[in-house]
Amino acid sequence: MTAVDIAERRARFRAFGFLILAVLTCGVMIVVRADPENDFTTGLWLGLLVGCADEGARENRRSSCTVGFWAAVGAALFFQLASHFNRGIGAEEVGQIVATAGIVSAMITFAILELRAAR
């Protein structure tokens, strides 16, 4: 097996792993919103950073972080506008949703870029 084959296999593995983590993050968000006393997300969001060794993965991670940043900014602006119409929107739920939007969009973007690189 050549180095290219190994790199492609690792890229596919990372891509599917990040898709699973994105689904898991959305699931955790639903559980946390259903039970506000549950503080499961504290360790989850901090544990999602995965080290990538090759140059392509570093570039994909950089691009996905940019997309995640803009997704979080977009979600924050949306909730800022929505708070004018619904005063019941609290800071805790906005923070969780904005962070989840940024993390999930970054993970999905990274997975798509890794799958594209593995082809």
Could you give the CA distance from residue 112 to residue 90 in angstroms, rounded to a whole number?
A: 33
Residue 73 has pLDDT above 80, yes or no: yes
Q: In angstroms, rounded to a whole number, what is the distance separating the alpha carbons of residues 55 and 113?
A: 13
Q: What is this structure's pTM?
A: 0.69
Percent of the chain surpassing pLDDT 90: 8
User: For 14-18, 32-36, 72-76, which range has the lowest pLDDT when averaged over its residues?
Assistant: 32-36
> What pLDDT shows up at residue 90?
80
Q: Are 77 and 115 in contact (CB under 8 A)?
A: no
